[in-house]
Amino acid sequence: MKERESFGSRFAVIMAFAGSAIGLGNIWRFPYLVGQNGGAAFIIIYILASFLLSLPIFLSESVIGRRTHSNTFGAMEELAPGTKWKWMGLLTVISPLVILSFYSVVGGWSIEYFIKSFGGFGSTSAAGAASSIATGGEASISQVSAAFGWFISSTWGPLFCHTAFLLLCALIILAGVKSGIERFSNITMPILFVLILLIIIYSVSLPGAAEGVRYMVKPDFSKITPSVIAAAMGQSFFSLSLGVGTILTYSSYVSKNEDMVLSASGTAVMDLMFALLAGFAVMPAVFAAGLAPESGPSLIFQTLPFIFTKMGETMPLLSTVVAVLFFLTVLVAALTSAISMFEVGVTYLVEEKGLTRSWATVAVFVGTWILGTLCSLSFGPLHDVHLFGNTIFDFCDKLTSNFLMTFGGLLFTVFVGWKMRRADVRDELTNGRSIRFNDRCFGILYFLIKYLAPIAILVIFVTNLLAK
């Protein structure tokens, strides 16, 4: 059998994990969820959820992946041969591909906006937004919004961008684990942090930005409801790529002497930091422009282009540079996450179905392209097609974010906490008890994996179910 690839260093492991974790979830979803759910109060719950709940799930997936050095299906077969757990392995091959389908549509939008950012958002908006003649601030935001609405509801532009985004992923995946995933993440992740810091400097220096900074740091506990708590936990799952086998698959490329607890916590800290940085990049700008922080998913595609356009009237060069950097950040972050979902399917097809890496890449590309195309068209020609009351895009998003990820997270923690032998889990998390610190913390980690995480996940699951 061909030698299995693995990541080359600790730095590479953390950059790959962080690459998967840091993505649209941090830049696109986190700021608008903060806006919709009461600012800093949401952030506090999010931080608690990341360490008490998401970290144990991350560790559970890591234990399974690193122990078996196998794809999600093969891993379950190896650890629980002949049981129904293998179906769980199969489910976690499918879930990331469903996420990838709608994720690549938004990834495609970021390509479009990256290109637009060179020429200014105002100019390109004219075609679709001719009706909203821009005179002054109010009209201008409606013009930029209309341009976005017009773009996503058209047929060919978004499809072209979705295809381009998936092709970029396929190219990185084709290059392999070391020369593709590892190299791309090693280079791009540190750059992302620098870019977002530059954008923050611009954002907080806008007149009126202080209100946005205050919004990010001042909690309003009256906004906390069970569904806000469930949203914070769900976002933490999404942001750390949990419950769908990506962390398991990446962990299967980690060598036996790596410290899994350290890599997992390092990833959680980086992911959290990036989400907060993205919040500080977006919110002050939103407030500076006098816009509503709770404007939802359109926040970064409507509100920010408007701000860039407005600032462009007085500082054209600076605002163009920042706009280009911002959408480049969104695009690169989306790509490093998308390849981690792509890889789950590819590893499965190579190891379980005997395909070559190239054919497996083609197969994943075609499958996600078809579903992604339906998601993309659901903003336009297929707008009236509904699944359980949702458009195809929303259905895929809700199905995975609210159910499959939580369900997967639950099963992974139950598997590691209740099905695997305690000694094996300890062996994996402490490298045969050679890492003293992990060995001392093992009792707490095991408690979180075995009891706290599964119970909390069940609660979110039921809350989401009751919420529809």
Residues in touch with ligand PFF (CB under 6 A):
20-21, 23-26, 96, 99, 238-239, 241, 244, 246, 337, 340-341
Q: What residues contact 243, with CB distance under 8 A and at least 6 apart?
A: 57, 92, 95, 237, 404, 405, 406, 407, 408, 409, 410, 412
Residue whose CB is less far from ligand PFF, 258 or 397: 397
Report, in Å, the least distance between residue 299 CB and ligand PFF.
15
Beta-bridge partner residues of 387: 390
Phi, psi of 356 (to 5 degrees): -75, 165
What is the smallest separation between the CB atom of 238 and ligand PFF, expressed in angstroms? 5
DSSP 3-state helix, strand, coil percentages of the chain (rounded to 5)? 80, 0, 20
Which of 70/72 has CB closer to ligand PFF? Answer: 72
Q: Identify which of residues 340 and 376 has a Cβ nearer to ligand PFF in the complex.
A: 340
Q: Which is nearer to ligand PFF, 57 or 146 (CB)?
A: 57
d(CA 289, CA 1): 59
Q: Which residue has the tokens 């890599």?
A: 263
* Least separation in angstroms between CB 237 and ligand PFF: 8
Q: In angstroms, give the least distance from the CB of 3 to ligand PFF.
A: 26
Per the listing, tokens 């970064």 go with 300
**Category of 219 on φ-ψ map: left (φ > 0), alpha (ψ -120 to 50) or beta:** beta
C-beta contacts of 255-261 below 8 A and 24+ residues apart:
255/6, 255/7, 256/66, 256/431, 257/431, 258/10, 258/13, 258/66, 259/10, 259/431, 259/435, 259/438, 260/59, 260/62, 260/63, 260/66, 260/428, 260/429, 261/59, 261/429, 261/435, 261/438, 261/441, 261/445
C-alpha 190/C-alpha 150 separation (Å) is: 35
Alpha-carbon span 183 to 55, nearest angstrom: 26
Give the nearest distance from C-beta 103 to ligand PFF in angstroms: 7
Q: How far is the CB of 314 from ligand PFF (least distance, A)?
A: 33
Measured from the CB atom, the residue of 289 and 411 that comes closer to ligand PFF is 411
Q: Which is nearer to ligand PFF, 40 or 106 (CB)?
A: 106
Assigned token pair, 188 = 């791009």
Minimum CB separation of residue 100 from ligand PFF in Å reads 8
Choice between 26 and 302, CB closer to ligand PFF: 26
The distance of closest approach from Cβ of residue 405 to ligand PFF in the complex, given in angstroms and rounded to an integer, is 7
CA 4 to chain centre: 26
Cβ atoms within 10 A of the Cβ of 291, count? 20
Looking at the Cβ atoms of 172 and 288, the one nearer to ligand PFF is 172
> Facing residues of 219 across strands?
39
DSSP for 109-169, written as a single string? HHHHHHHHHHH-HHHHHTTTTTTS---HHHHHHHHHHHHHHHHHHSSHHHHHHHHHHHHHH
| Minimum CB distance to ligand PFF smaller for 246 or for 251 | 246
Q: How far is the CB of 5 from ligand PFF (least distance, A)?
A: 19
Angle at 232 between CA 73 and CA 446, to 5 degrees: 50
Q: How far is the CB of 247 from ligand PFF (least distance, A)?
A: 8
State the nearest-atom distance from the C-beta of 166 to ligand PFF, in Å: 15
Judged by beta carbon, residue 62 or residue 309, the one nearer ligand PFF is: 62
260 or 344, CB closer to ligand PFF? Answer: 344
Report the C-alpha gap between 324 and 331 in whole angstroms.
11
DSSP assignment letter at 5:
P
CB neighbours (10 Å) of residue 12?
21
Summary count for the chain: helices (H), strands (E): 23, 0
- Beta carbon of residue 337, minimum distance to ligand PFF (angstroms, whole number): 4
Map residue 254 onto helix, strand or coil. Answer: coil
Report which residue's Cβ sits closest to ligand PFF: 25
